[in-house]
Structure 1
Amino acid sequence: MSLRFSLMGPVRAWRDDEEIELGPRQQRAVLAALLLNNGIRLSNEQLIGMVWDDPTPSAVMALRTYMYKIRKTLPELNLKSKDGGYTLRAEIVDDCRGEPLEGLQGTYFEAQRLRLGQHRLKAREDWLERELNVLELQKHVAANPLRERPRALLMYALFQEGRQAEALDHFHQARALLNEELGIEPGPELRKIHAQILKGDLNLPRRPEQLPPDLADFTGRAAEIAQALQTLPGTVGITGMHGSGKTALAVRIGHLVRHRFKDGQIFVRGKDVANDLLRAVGVENPTGDKAALWREKARGKRFLVIVDDVPDAASISDLASPGSAMIVTSVRRLNELPGVTWLKIAGLTGAEAHEFFRKVLDPARIAAEPQQAEEILNRMSYLPHAVRVVGGKLSARPNWTVAMVLAQMERDTKRGGAASSDCRAVLAPMIKVEGQLNDEARHLLLCFAQQDAEVIDVSAAAEMSSLPVGAIEYLLESLADVHLIEPLVLGRYRLPRFVRTYFGWRTPALTS
């Protein structure tokens, strides 16, 4: 299930598409204080100070009561008292419905209301800078006549439409208003754009908008998203096996924070990352030290950079720039990169996988065969890519049942290399990673799959492969690095069912 919150307007929460009743005002105030400090531990004393301006001794008991009711209403938050305090991690959306924290009173919430209002205003102006819509800019300037940034954007937009006189008139209006209301002259941004219009050489720098579309059916990953939002603009790394949804998660995070990065978003995938970054900001055919040139171009700017499927640490090691943020995805965790907060993902949770399956396939068909649906999701280790492919296949075959797809999977497993195109599409991430394995690693996984072994230990692996224990340990660790096996304790690993399914499918072809 997906749980999300909004602080814009009344404090609100939704579980999937159903709104949740959050209780009386003071209870919502406690929840709001936790949400405003998303990911930060708050002591009981801090919470009481935020919610009550002049707390009485009864506030302690009231807080405990409200926390009990919040836990009961929102069990997914796992809000447990630890060391006399609470930490909440949640997905917060800005649905722009009204005055922030509507209905909540007190000094703390008044200050936060002002902060969120400024945040919303800046987000709106970031959008106006991207769109440069004259009508929308005129409305915004009329509503906020003393803000210089949107007026400068309006002057630029008018100039671009050939309305030079109107653009200059806006400068004179702003100058008169600032003098009358505040007793000051226009700031450097307005003066600069005024001078450029007079000279006729007004050009804004190229602003890349390369962020891929967000997935409408994106599901889960709330904890990872919360951690990423807390880390940015520091560097975030996302690691996991092929098909786990690393790119989709990076893009979702990118859309949630794009308003923070006024100079644009850059999405690259390839070996020459520095070259692609430079091209995104208008530098064609760069020569020399490309990383140094990129840092020079990015100096003083706020870019959001997503580097997808990073092949190695050297590709991005010198590209970080103060003020800009980088999100990287890689099958391997690149531990040699300093200052990276790594998020490791695998399959969705069972509940999230079912929710996602219902988004890609008619829920009524799933409800008609709940056991078969659970079996098929379990076989795929709840990996989003595989779930999407199977759901799409069933959607394209309205007369098929989930049980029929299970039967086809069984048949394809026995056929091995002769599997259907749909089965191969489900297993495409595994086909890709198998091609990157050496013969010893591939043989070891085939042996484990043949025995349908879920838990692997070093001794059993050495016995199967006839390799020395030292070599086996190195081999198993290399498989764990690409998430084909999961470390449990020293010397023991778990083989995910999806990996067993794939190498079980490969085994007949190997032994026939």
Structure 2
Amino acid sequence: MGTAQGEFGGGGGLRLRVLGPVTAWLTDRQVNPGPPLQRATLWVLAAQAGRLVTKDRLIDALWGAAAPKTAEQSLYTYVAGLRRLLEPERGRRGPFTLLTQSANGYSLARDACRTDAEDFEQRLAEARRFQAKQDLPAWLRELEAGLGLWAGPALGGLPGPFCEAERARLESMRLTAREDYADALLRLGRHQESLDALTALTAEAPLRERPRELLMLALYRCGRQAEALEVFHDTRRLLAEHLGVDPGEPLRRAYELILRADPSLAVRTSGESALPPPARAPHQLPRDSRVFVGRTAMLVRLRALLAPWDGGDPQSVVAVTGTAGAGKSTLAVHAAHAASDHYPDGCLYVNLLGATPGVTRLSSLTLLGRLLRDLGVHAEAVPSDPGEAASMLRDRLLGRRMLIVLDDAAGPEQVRPLLGLPAGNALLVTSRESFAVADDCVQLVLGRMLRSEAVTVLAKLVGAERVAADPAAAAELADLCGRLPLALRLAAARLTENRHMPLSELNSRLRDQRRALHELESGDLAVRASLQLSHDLLAAGPNQLDRAAAAALCHLGVPHVPDATADVVAALLDVPRDAAERTVARLVRANLAEPGEHGRFRLHDLVRLFAMELAERRLSERDRDDALDRVIGLYGTTARLAMKLIDPHRVHPPHEFAGCEQFALTGSADASAWLVRERANVIAVAAQAMASGNSCLARSGAHLIFSFHWPLVFTGHNLDILTLSRKALEVGDRLDDQGISALAHGYLAQGLDHSGRYEEALLHQRAEVALRRTIGDPFSRMRALGNLAVMLTSLKVHEEALSSAREQLRIAREIGAAVGERHALLCVGSAQLGLGDVAAAVAAYTEMESLAREAGDAMHRADALMAMAEVHLVQEDHPSVAELYEKALVLMRENRFRGMEPRCLGRLGQAERLMGRFDRARAYLRETLAVAQGCGAGYWVDFAREELALLDGGRAAPDG
């Protein structure tokens, strides 16, 4: 081939060479276009010359999801540099006419910069026009001129997602042009030159079928028939080893014609196919599965879309998406076989290799070329432009009814040129990626099977007798496999290999998180390998967002939580929340995460196990601990923020959590909802941290629980308080940390007190008081003394309770702790009432209620109302008791103090019974029982049962 490179430097204006090392010329001299990112900026603008490119699009084109905080400022610098390059005579301030700015972005004038990429595309367009006119010498001349512009890999290593995509596009065009060049030589009778070009091309792109078909023809026309046939056998072996597929129909047809030295292989100069088209309608679907169970609703939906019951046109595009191992391909092939009668012109099938390890996924042009060749278009007549090839495909399908099954698509972009086929034809696509954005597409997301379906699959694979012998174990095995077909097949293979292994033994192995994925392996199939591939495709993806999603999946194996949000991902990766949101969306599109409500997502159980393994393999212990500590910081600081919004009067023990962006909460209702949603995650993370051998992490986990104590009290999760406080106490003892031990003793005492286990509660409360006297923190000592007074009052040790409460009151007033003063007055009043001094009790309660009202402390106001109700109970003024408890209940429900409701409801039920209003009493007491059982409030459970026994023992007639 000749070269056109030398001509490029001349002429006026800026001329940019990108088909090789990036260089720039201004008139007749070479100029420096600046650093790599400035050069990339120039290419982005030049590739879209005459159009406005927004700043956001420019930043995304240059950096993708990894844009630094200084991106916009850097962009200004690059634009300024390009303006000096384009219009050096205008100085630094302009005005500039070639690279202009608007409010939204920048625009490069259409004639400001010419590129060799434009020249290359123009040459290819001219070549296609000459090809259509059957002017073969002119076709060859234009191809040679276009290819002569290349001096190396396109865009010379320019950075950024936009340049990466453009580099791939230009390289694909170059390979197609080289195929066309060899094709033109062959059709002009220059067989040896074509052979030389094709030998080099097949070495560079060994899996492209069109060059190998042309190579076979070139060898045959050079009198080397045996070598031509050997190319076919080599190609078949190569495709089987790397792709697991057979050669396409054009290659097979070429082999058959060469084998019998068909006269049609003689040189032709027309654009018509040298190989006769197939006479029958193609039916390329793989064999249907012998074991296909369930998915009934999905199959009915697919059948209705692909073969409408009324005989009308099918849905243009149907995408079956889902996580690895969900059975997408099997379902699609089964549905295609079921609907094939609706497509008299045949069914085509192509594996797009979107998630096939070790091979390059099919390009859009390769896909179009394969489909066109399968429809009888000879390779040399397939256009080299994807748009033109797509137009030809639509023309070939016009008036036909064909089903095209595209298996394992990398995503919508890979099949976008095929969208919009003529009516009557349908495209059935499978992919791990979401197709929600594809035009005129119905997406069916394939999730886990029904348990009954999964058990039936096991029965078919391992034998119905074996499953029937232990149906409970079979159901558990289905759940442990996530009810995913791939995992079920692998579990069945494990059972088949070990015929005497009970299902329960395999279940035991799968319950062990350390070996579960190892058990789900058989031969070259494995759940782990399938998930690893999904991760690796992202990790090696063309843009930063893909790589960020791979990193997120790895980090999501660190916290052992039921579900998560973008805030958690932001903390794990230590990135801004908006970047984390994009990352989560990418995981969802890749079907590695399942979206939920309120911006939440979860990992499928097997994906979660894989992520845990991935974190162990890819992250150092320090990185894992740091990531978990940031999540603890996120939960701890947000829990405190939530409580501040709900009840700013409650005090949390001081602790400095790892700094990170908090959840965004907008008010008390939002805060309460967040506490409910995140409770399970907070508990899981805290327990995980407290079990860690890292002392700093264990401390952070304990303090996370201490920060979540009031939310647990308010929401009535007393059993969690008991369990977690014991774990925190173990941490304090293990680390010899008196501060943690003291807090754990105190919170454990409160939980035991709420459960009615007063003697145990007192032991732990005395332990906290003893530690507080040693530690010397006056606020914590005051708080511990107040809680000791509460425990003593519960046990009716009123003298000591009064002494402890008075000491609490003294310290509170000394240090100016208003919340402590109110609590101390409550404790003083309760002790005085227990000692029979009603007047002193009323005085203390009255002062406390006044202070609580002045401070706006709803919880202490409710406490004061309930305390005054106890005074009226002693005085047997039951109507007043009921009135005060009703007011307290209103306050509790307005402020979501659910954990305090059992006392109110129980006393209301008692008051109603004592007033003879038995139906009302029974309703209150039944509600008491339900709420107290949910809260783990043992005392009030027993109280409600005793009161109901009094009602139901024949001593209480119905109301009225």
- TM class by smaller structure: 0.5 to 0.7
TM-superposed deviation, 1:417: 8.9
What residue number does 2:424 align with? 323
SS in 1 for 2:592: coil
- Confirm or deny that 1:340 pairs with 2:441: yes
Segments of structure 2 that go 5 or more residues without pairing to the other structure are 1-276, 307-313, 353-361, 540-546, 622-960
What residue number does 2:395 align with? 296
What residue number does 2:370 align with? 276
State the distance in 1 between where 2:463 and 2:476 align.
Answer: 17
SS in 1 for 2:284: coil
State the distance in 2 between where 1:416 and 1:256 align.
Answer: 34
What residue number does 1:251 align with? 333
What residue number does 1:353 align with? 454
Superposed counterparts of 1:474-489, under 5 Å: 474-489=582-597
SS in 2 for 1:238: strand
Superposed counterparts of 1:491-506, under 5 Å: 491-506=599-614
Superposed counterparts of 1:203-218, under 5 Å: 205-218=279-292
Q: What does the per-residue CA deviation read over 1:374-419, in whole Å, with 9 as the maximum and x for residues that have no partner?
A: 3332232111111112112211321222234345446682699999
Q: What is the identity, as a one-letter code, of the residue corresponding to 2:396? A: K
SS in 2 for 1:309: strand
Q: Please say which of residues 479-488 and 216-225 is displaced more in the overlay.
A: 216-225
TM-superposed deviation, 1:363: 2.4
8 Å CA contact retained: 1:243, 1:384: yes
> Structure 1's 481 and 303: CA in aligned 2 closer, same or farther, altered over 3 A?
same
8 Å CA contact retained: 2:372, 2:382: no
TM-superposed deviation, 1:337: 2.4
Q: What is the identity, as a one-letter code, of the residue corresponding to 1:302? A: R
Q: What is the identity, as a one-letter code, of the residue corresponding to 1:329? A: T
Q: Work out which structure has the larger RCO, using CA pairs closer than 8 Å and 6 or more positions apart in sequence.
A: 1
SS in 2 for 1:305: strand
Q: What is the identity, as a one-letter code, of the residue corresponding to 1:249? A: L
- Confirm or deny that 1:431 pairs with 2:532: yes
8 Å CA contact retained: 2:510, 2:519: no
8 Å CA contact retained: 2:436, 2:443: no
What residue number does 2:806 align with? none
What residue number does 1:287 align with? 382
> Structure 1's 262 and 484: CA in aligned 2 closer, same or farther, altered over 3 A?
same
Q: What is the identity, as a one-letter code, of the residue corresponding to 1:267? A: Y
What residue number does 1:383 align with? 484
State the distance in 1 between where 2:413 and 2:325 align.
Answer: 24
What residue number does 2:568 align with? 460
Superposed counterparts of 1:102-141, under 5 Å: none
- Confirm or deny that 1:469 pairs with 2:543: no
8 Å CA contact retained: 2:302, 2:335: yes
Q: What is the identity, as a one-letter code, of the residue corresponding to 1:275? A: G
Structure number with larger C-alpha Rg: 2
TM-superposed deviation, 1:422: 5.9
Segments of structure 1 that go 5 or more residues without pairing to the other structure are 1-202
State the distance in 1 between where 2:516 and 2:556 align.
Answer: 19
8 Å CA contact retained: 1:236, 1:328: yes
Q: Which of 341, 345, 360 is equivalent to 1:263?
A: 345
State the distance in 2 between where 1:442 and 1:312 align.
Answer: 16
8 Å CA contact retained: 2:520, 2:527: no
State the distance in 2 between where 1:420 and 1:238 align.
Answer: 25
> Structure 1's 364 and 469: CA in aligned 2 closer, same or farther, altered over 3 A?
same
State the distance in 2 between where 1:275 and 1:204 align.
Answer: 16
8 Å CA contact retained: 2:406, 2:428: yes
State the distance in 2 between where 1:489 and 1:342 align.
Answer: 20
> Structure 1's 269 and 321: CA in aligned 2 closer, same or farther, altered over 3 A?
farther
What residue number does 1:238 align with? 320
8 Å CA contact retained: 2:490, 2:525: no
TM-superposed deviation, 1:312: 3.5
TM-superposed deviation, 1:309: 1.4
Q: What does the per-residue CA deviation read over 1:246-271, in whole Å, with 9 as the maximum and x for residues that have no partner?
A: 11111111111111111111111222
TM-superposed deviation, 1:445: 3.1
What residue number does 1:364 align with? 465
State the distance in 2 between where 1:419 and 1:212 align.
Answer: 26
Q: What does the per-residue CA deviation read over 1:34-64, in whole Å, with 9 as the maximum and x for residues that have no partner?
A: xxxxxxxxxxxxxxxxxxxxxxxxxxxxxxx
Structure-1-length-normalised TM-score: 0.55
8 Å CA contact retained: 2:434, 2:591: no
Q: What is the identity, as a one-letter code, of the residue corresponding to 1:313? A: P
TM-superposed deviation, 1:420: 6.5
What residue number does 1:227 align with? 301
State the distance in 1 between where 2:590 and 2:485 align.
Answer: 17
Q: What does the per-residue CA deviation read over 1:430-478, in whole Å, with 9 as the maximum and x for residues that have no partner?
A: 1110112345434433443343212112333323332221111111111
SS in 1 for 2:556: helix
Q: What does the per-residue CA deviation read over 1:6-45, in whole Å, with 9 as the maximum and x for residues that have no partner?
A: xxxxxxxxxxxxxxxxxxxxxxxxxxxxxxxxxxxxxxxx
State the distance in 2 between where 1:315 and 1:508 align.
Answer: 34
TM-superposed deviation, 1:428: 2.5
% identical equivalent positions:
25
State the distance in 2 between where 1:310 and 1:449 align.
Answer: 27
TM-superposed deviation, 1:356: 1.2
What residue number does 2:258 align with? none
Q: What does the per-residue CA deviation read over 1:105-153, in whole Å, with 9 as the maximum and x for residues that have no partner?
A: xxxxxxxxxxxxxxxxxxxxxxxxxxxxxxxxxxxxxxxxxxxxxxxxx
SS in 1 for 2:320: strand
TM-superposed deviation, 1:236: 1.2
TM-superposed deviation, 1:295: 1.9
State the distance in 2 between where 1:372 and 1:426 align.
Answer: 21
State the distance in 2 between where 1:363 and 1:415 align.
Answer: 24
State the distance in 1 between where 2:433 and 2:413 align.
Answer: 13
What residue number does 2:773 align with? none
What residue number does 2:617 align with? 509
Q: What does the per-residue CA deviation read over 1:217-251, in whole Å, with 9 as the maximum and x for residues that have no partner?
A: 11222222222222222121111112111111111
State the distance in 1 between where 2:474 and 2:582 align.
Answer: 37
> Structure 1's 325 and 207: CA in aligned 2 closer, same or farther, altered over 3 A?
same
Q: What is the identity, as a one-letter code, of the residue corresponding to 1:484? A: L
State the distance in 1 between where 2:615 and 2:341 align.
Answer: 50
State the distance in 2 between where 1:424 and 1:256 align.
Answer: 27
Q: CA RMSD in A?
A: 2.9
What residue number does 2:406 align with? 307
Q: Please say which of residues 417-426 and 304-313 is displaced more in the overlay.
A: 417-426
State the distance in 1 between where 2:330 and 2:518 align.
Answer: 30
8 Å CA contact retained: 1:417, 1:506: no
